[in-house]
Structure 1
Amino acid sequence: MTRDYRIATIPGDGIGREVVPAAASVLDRAGALFGFEIEWTEFDWSCAYYAEHGCMMPADGLDLLRDFDQIFLGAVGSPEVPDDVSLWGLLIPIRRAFQQYINLRPVTLLPGMTSPLRKDIAESIDFLVVRENNEGEYSEIGGRLYRGTPQEIAVQEAVFTRIGVERVMRYAFALAKSRRKNVASATKSNGIIHTMPFWDEVFRDISIEHPDVETSQHHIDALAAKFVLAPAQFDVVVASNLFGDILTDIGAAIIGSIGIGASGNINPEGDFPSMFESVHGSAPDIAGLGIANPLGQVWAGSMMLDHMGEATAAAAVKEAMSRTLLSDIRTPDLGGDATTADVTQSLITTLEEVAR
């Protein structure tokens, strides 16, 4: 019996409109090969939508998304729309309304990729960053006074709740138990006097509950350096919203390109849809040229399949990515001359070989 999934797609802006359809075609082929079917429903919410309607999505947008199994997001952003408008008008409301409090990003050097790090340092890069996704430094509490005057004040409050910190750490420990049983925590308690000591205290409390898991705590500046100098030591890294955001961009850089980075915004309980996205931007400079790299979006699709319980298909898609890279079929950002369509066709052909 075929398993059916209803997926909402938001291609967004720029190359998002190219890589989302490309990735969807790969996932459709995976479904045909592994016994499931995806029904895609596209929403045109984007900066172009904002230019026409004055909002990033309609007032009932969240209600329209609520009943889908998952959400597949492309890239959102345009030079004509301030980043705070596009981000806070679409991505963050979805993350918060649907309690997608886990942001999960794999940092793995895929076969066929070349890291900017020395080979002996890079060859064993394989870890996960678990980023708190609903609170922390990205709160809405604060404001500005006396705008445009010498007395202007800008205040931004970070918000750390016990329930918010505990649940992201418990998720990290559960992941580590399925891997190499090691959790590293990002902190800055020597400089941030209230929230980071609180983060550290909760981390120690959760660590006690898991004596079989090795733990370590790192100040964020030192941890950023270790991502570059000794990334192989990490298994699962747990971090606050801001720290996780910064660390995962470093992670994407050390595995060869931010163009292949993928991310899951996850509601672990399954009460709401989770959302999967590539982490590159909308790249307006190459939009429409047919040379956008679809691998980040495809990797996000693999993560989505795994989240839905299609682990075999997810692994096959990831294997197809590696084999395509090893065959040297690459878009210009990876030093090749292949088009988006070339890479997509290679992925589909290779996926069929993997399935056989």
Structure 2
Amino acid sequence: MVKHTIASIPGDGIGPEVIEEAIKVLRAVEEIHGNLQFEIDSYDWNCKRYLETGRMMPEDGIKTLAPYDAILFGAVGSPEVPDHISVWELILPIRREFQQYINLRPIKLLKGIESPLANKGIEDIDFVVVRENTEGEYSNSGGRLHVGTPYEVVVQNSVFTKMGSERVIKYAYELARKRGSKHLSVATKSNAINFSMPFWDEVTKEVGVDYKEIEPKFYHIDALVAFFVSKPEIFDVVVGSNLFGDILTDLGAAISGGLGTAPSGNINPEKKYPSMFEAIHGSAPDIAGKGIANPIAQIWSTSLMLEHLGYPEMAKIIVDGIEDTLVDGKVRTPDLGGTASTTEFADKIIENIRKYA
């Protein structure tokens, strides 16, 4: 029996609701595989805890998570806690301390879902965005001077290192090679951001010397977002900085079915530290507790976790089960035009997953 330890952080809002269903999926995977077991520990690190203790997670939180094979993360955020606190004191420390420098987000139109883009089908929207995840525009560098006065000054620095840029770009090239791509789409803005972006472009070309069969195609970010809408079929692997990747992937989610279906992985490729897998839809406080949240994003994120842990066949079974449920169309949550609850929808997905046993 192969055992994997998983840390579960349900978080806020709909996070606990969708995490509960993702764990049910893992139990179904155990049954199907027959030689696989998940030991799951849950941690109540969220905004409620912050309001009670003044901390999103304990001081030794990183040390607590370090021994696990992977982390399943639900969502974080509450109207009662400023977003910069909930994010900077929970998600970002985990990403950075564990060198989860790859944020991997599939942009794939699932069978049974209609894209809001006219005349675009599943063959047109099927690519992956690789987002730099630990530095760039989201670096904790800057400050405020003369706060509250008419001459207040705010400085927010972007930090691009050679190592940080090289490793994410190399990962993107490797992924393109694995997928048989002939090109790598690169988000830039070197015509206007005159230091960090030319540097980013230069590193891309330097790394590309080892991948001569793959052509780097550079797109200014404003044109790139337009092409995501008008010509999504031209993309296969897209790589971008922290900010650009963040913007692109939310747009990618919108054109492929909405945030309720969008998964992500915060990955440490070397597996020296645990990687973290989360839905990108956020805590959605407006529907929290109503039992109508779409669990696809969290379940698909669990599939990404299984692939990372070395079980691609199990990962595929989960996505196949999701698509079978969508194609059937009888059981769907309200955001997909149905009336089913979160649990009813997830139960149907699990029922379809079990068919592959």
Q: TM-score, normalising length from structure 2? A: 0.98
Give yes or no for contact 1:121–1:232 (8 Å, CA) kept in 2. no
Read off the aligned partner of 2:280 and give its amino acid letter. V
1:80 counterpart residue number: 80
Partners of 1:56 and 1:73 lie apart in 2 by 14
Give per-residue Cα distances to partners, 1:59-114, cap 9 Å, x unaligned. Answer: 00000000000000001000000000000000000000000000000000010111
Which digits, 9 at most, give the CA deviation of each residue in 1:232-255, with x for residues without a partner?
A: 111110100000000000000000
Q: Is 2:59 aligned against 1:67?
A: no
2:285 corresponding residue in structure 1: 284
What's the TM-score once normalised by structure 1's chain length? 0.98
| Secondary structure of the corresponding residue to residue 355 of structure 2 | helix
> Would the aligned equivalents of 2:66 and 2:274 in 1 still touch at CA under 8 Å?
yes
Aligned length: 354
Aligned to 1:104: 104
- Unmatched runs of 5 consecutive residues or more in structure 2: none
Matches within 5 A, 1:1-356: 2-35=1-34, 36-120=36-120, 123-181=123-181, 182-328=183-329, 329-355=331-357
Report the Cα distance in structure 2 between the residues aligned to 1:57 and 1:163, rounded to whole angstroms: 29
CA distance in structure 1 between the aligned counterparts of 2:354 and 2:210, rounded to whole angstroms: 44
Runs of 5+ in structure 1 lacking a partner? none
Indicate the SS of the match to 1:129: strand
CA distance in 1, matches of 2:14, 2:232: 30
Equivalent-residue separation in structure 2 for 1:178 and 1:112 (angstroms): 27
1:120 and 1:259 map into 2 onto residues whose CA distance is 19
- The one-letter amino acid of 1:353's match is K
C-alpha distance after superposition, 1:195-253 (max 9, x if no partner): 00000001111122211113200000000000000011111101000000000000000
Residues 105 and 262 in structure 1, CA contact (< 8 A), matched pair in contact too: yes
> Which secondary structure does the structure 1 equivalent of 2:245 belong to?
helix
Q: What SS does structure 2 have at the residue aligned with 1:119?
A: coil
Tell me the CA shift for residue 285 of structure 1.
1.2
Distance 2:118 2:215 in 1: 27
| Helix, strand or coil at the partner of 1:237 | strand
Q: Partners in 1 of 2:111 and 2:340 — Cα distance?
A: 18
- How far, CA to CA, are the matches of 1:279 and 1:180 in structure 2? 27
**Superposed CA RMSD:** 0.9
> Deviations along 1:251-300, whole A, 9 cap, x unmatched?
00000111111110000001000000000011111111111110000000
Deviates more, 1:203-212 or 1:218-227: 203-212
1:299-338 deviation digits (Å, cap 9, x = unpaired): 0000000000011110000000001111112101111111
Aligned-partner residue type, residue 93 of structure 2: P
Letter of the structure 2 residue corresponding to residue 314 of structure 1 = A
Contact 2:76–2:86, Cα closer than 8 Å, also in 1: yes
Q: CA deviation at 1:120?
A: 3.7
In 2: Cα distance, 1:168 partner to 1:222 partner: 22
Change (3 A) 1:129 1:48: same
Distance in 2, matches of 1:208 and 1:171, equals 14
Distance 1:210 1:326 in 2: 39
8 Å contact kept, 1:122–1:231: no
CA contact (8 A) 2:111 2:122 kept: no
Contact 1:121 1:230 survives alignment (8 Å): no
Q: Distance in 1 between matches of 2:342 and 2:119?
A: 28
